[in-house]
Structure 1
């Protein structure tokens, strides 16, 4: 029996090891081929991109690239703006809170110092007024043209005219006060040796209203500048019929007012207390 058909060529049909590889191997081979064949570097940064950059075969449109850059820049600017705004607001709030507390402390300290200063002024004024308790001021007596005018003699004549039992020895000293040459005669300041001697004349001051010889003469206590100003304002209110009357007693300024149909006596220590009568 003869064979005319040739047998299969084993050499030709023999598979290589690569053809017999598993599917996993094929995947790995594909990966290797992609890795070895790829010549494109994808390590791009935003700053390194240019408007003409091409990634592989895909070209980035210039307008898209600009839009991306603008969007990212705006987002960064907005984030920085919000962060800076928050930080500034925090700083300002801290500074304002600190200043507010400091101002509050200073205001409290200032109020305390003002109260202490007022207390010291009141004490000083009271002490000065006490040192004047034996003195009186006499207004309205004409000045003599003679340079050697005796104010002691003038005071004694006034005491006799008013019926005051005052001895010359009870007058410590007397003199006129203020600058000479004014339109009105200068007042006479009289210092007595005792409060009792001073009261002999002062207690009869109302008799001057009926004394024709001394109709324009009036007698005041020797008040401190502060209390004299207060009495001046109070007497102005009395003349304007805002209050009934005003005077001083032992250095204390007193007024009489009509409230709710009743006459009341009030002690005044400051001009603020007279504001409601103006």
Structure 2
């Protein structure tokens, strides 16, 4: 009997030691869990700061385009770089570019707009140039910068006169905002929202529903459109 009691005591002592080890490991594990929770909070706070900085950078980039509009779908012609180089290096009269090629890009844009009863004064334009093409055979996308924002707003207000021409005039959006605007237009086509437009570089959508429900929402990230898909 004494021997059995001793064996039982040894087993109990062994179990007690093991339980102490388990308790010690559990305590360390709980400390690690607490530390992980703290780190998650720190990461979350830093992510919020990063998102804020990204939004700020995006806003600044969009702000630099506040006087710009984009003309897409307009077929233009202009003197090629090779022809211009040859003509500048030779003193002979030679063959010059056809008259339509001699017109500046700015002038071609203005003439097209005037053909649709949209008046644009050349002195209100500070720059006009094409953007890099996504496809070799694509029509050029033209960026036009005005002296101030009111000229841009006035042109956008008359953009409805271009209906049926295949030419479109829009604000010059950053890539991020352009992607948001594209997805918003797709949602409108699918009738998931009533309407979408841009204002001062920001993408706006109007929700479906009654006049009370159809509020206007500003979309800053692509994920902000997820609830309406």
Compared CA separation, residues 258 and 181, structure 1 to 2 (3 A): closer
TM-score by length of 1: 0.67
Query: In terms of mean alpha carbon deviation, does 147-156 or 235-244 score higher?
Result: 147-156
Calculate the TM-score normalised by the size of structure 2.
0.80
Give the secondary-structure state (helix, strand or coil) at the position aligned to 1:254: strand
Residue 179 of structure 2 aligns with which residue?
229
Aligned to 2:86: none
Change (3 A) 1:180 1:147: farther
Aligned equivalents of 1:268, 1:181: Cα separation in 2: 29
Q: What value does the CA root-mean-square deviation take over the aligned residues?
A: 2.4
d(CA) in 2 for partners of 1:158, 1:193:
20
**Which deviates the most, 263-272 or 123-132?**
263-272
Q: Is residue 2:26 matched to residue 1:115? A: no
Q: 1:220 to 1:190 in 2, by over 3 A?
A: same
* Aligned pair partner of 2:130 in 176, 187, 190: 176
Q: Report the CA distance between 1:144 and its aligned residue.
A: 2.9
Name which of 110, 116, 139 aligns with 1:162.
Answer: 116
Who is 1:97 aligned against? 30
Q: Equivalents in 1 of 2:182, 2:175: separation in Å? A: 10
Q: Distance in 2 between matches of 1:234 and 1:73?
A: 79
Aligned length: 207
Contact 1:164 1:200 in 2 (8 A): no
Aligned twin of 1:32: none
Q: Indicate the structure (1 or 2) with the bigger Cα radius of gyration.
A: 1
The unaligned stretches of length 5 or more in structure 1 are 1-66
| 2:150 paired residue number | 196
Please say if 1:244 is aligned against 2:177: no
Using CA pairs below 8 Å that are at least 6 residues apart, which structure has the higher relative contact order?
A: 2
CA distance in 1 between partners of 2:14 and 2:137 (Å): 78
CA contact (8 A) 2:194 2:205 kept: yes
SS of 1:129's partner is helix
